[in-house]
């Protein structure tokens, strides 16, 4: 019979004692230690992001003059395109203000936009988060919505002095009320576990049975104004196929999300004006 050696179990015993002591530590002490650890990490991640930006800058300088000329021409075309839409947007905003004054309606401008740089991503099967380079120093608060040019990115779940953590819409913990374009009935969107390869996906539930989704005519999923996180009309994704859900009453299906979600360099945080 093999002899029992206590020394072989010392790591397990030490781990058990550590977990027991950690379990006995008061909750406010755990919160303080966790916050302090994140605040200590923030400057390192921020420095790494700045070094990456610097490396990209010098990498761009290695391009030939022909490539730079072509890129400059493309930028000029894009600039003219966005200048036109900026003027059009100003005209539409002026028209909205005129109609609000005539009808004596309250203004719908409930958010200001804060652009922030992405400095870190934590993407795995269980949760999908990213950290941005702005926090309490720019008035960002927990629960604020995050968007980009393609629609919804996620929401802020933790805010520190100079950084914030954003939960992506691909995370299984993310849920939001949504609706299909041209249909006012609310449904539920939720993120789902992601595979290592492939485009990001979500899931939609509680879809009425009279709605039909086809691959050549997918349904556009957008946000609603039922919650305080996002304004109505922002794109979430598209649904190409629906099937009867577990309840047998409503439909469910996968939501194809924008593939740029996992490669974003900058995002925009929606900060409610009421908290300022």
Residue 205 phi, psi (nearest 5): -130, 170
> Would you put residue 194 in left (φ > 0), alpha (ψ -120 to 50) or beta?
beta
Give the pLDDT confidence score for residue 108 in this predicted structure. Answer: 62
Confidence at residue 35, expressed as pLDDT on a 0 to 100 scale: 62
Looking at the predicted structure, is the pLDDT value of residue 53 above 60?
A: yes
**How many CB atoms sit inside 10 A of residue 167's CB?**
20
Indicate the pLDDT class of residue 68, thresholds 50, 70 and 90: confident
pLDDT at residue 122 in the model:
84
pLDDT band at residue 9, thresholds of 50, 70 and 90? Answer: low
Predicted model pTM = 0.73
Mean pLDDT lowest for which of 57-61, 65-69, 116-120? 57-61
Query: How many Cα atoms occupy the beta-carbon half-sphere of 138 within 13 Å?
Result: 20
Domain ranges in the chain?
9-60, 63-108, 109-276
pLDDT digits (tens, 9 = 90+) for 215-241: 888 999 999 877 778 888 899 999 999
Average pLDDT over residues 143-154: 93
Which positions ≥6 away from 203 have C-beta within 8 Å? 189, 190, 191, 192, 252, 253, 254, 255
The pLDDT value given to residue 1: 47
Domain 109-276 has CATH 2.40.10.340: yes
């Amino acid at each position: 019979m093999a002899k029992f050696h206590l020394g072989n179990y010392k790591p397990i015993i030490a781990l058990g004692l550590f977990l027991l002591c950690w379990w006995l530590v008061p909750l406010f002490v755990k919160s303080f230690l966790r916050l302090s650890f994140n605040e200590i990490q923030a400057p390192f991640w921020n420095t790494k992001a700045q070094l990456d930006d610097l490396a990209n800058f010098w990498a761009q300088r290695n391009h030939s003059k022909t490539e730079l000329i072509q890129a400059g021409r493309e930028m000029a075309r894009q600039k003219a395109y966005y200048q036109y839409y900026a003027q059009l947007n100003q005209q539409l905003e002026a028209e909205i203000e005129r109609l609000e004054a005539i009808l004596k309606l309250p203004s719908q401008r409930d958010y200001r936009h804060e652009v922030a740089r992405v400095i870190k991503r934590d993407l795995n099967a269980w949760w999908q988060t990213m950290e941005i380079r702005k926090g309490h120093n720019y008035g960002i608060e927990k629960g604020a919505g995050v968007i980009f040019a393609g629609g919804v990115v996620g929401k802020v779940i933790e805010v520190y002095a100079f950084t914030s953590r954003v939960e992506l819409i691909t995370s299984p913990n993310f849920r939001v009320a949504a609706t299909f374009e041209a249909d006012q009935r609310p449904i539920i969107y939720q993120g789902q576990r992601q595979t290592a390869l492939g485009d990001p996906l979500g899931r939609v539930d509680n879809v009425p049975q009279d709605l039909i989704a086809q691959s050549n005519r997918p349904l556009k999923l957008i946000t609603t104004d039922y919650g305080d996180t996002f304004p109505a009309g922002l794109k979430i994704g598209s649904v190409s196929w629906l099937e009867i859900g577990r309840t047998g009453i409503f439909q469910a299906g996968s939501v194809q999300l924008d593939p740029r979600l996992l490669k974003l360099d900058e995002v925009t945080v929606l900060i409610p004006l009421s908290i300022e």
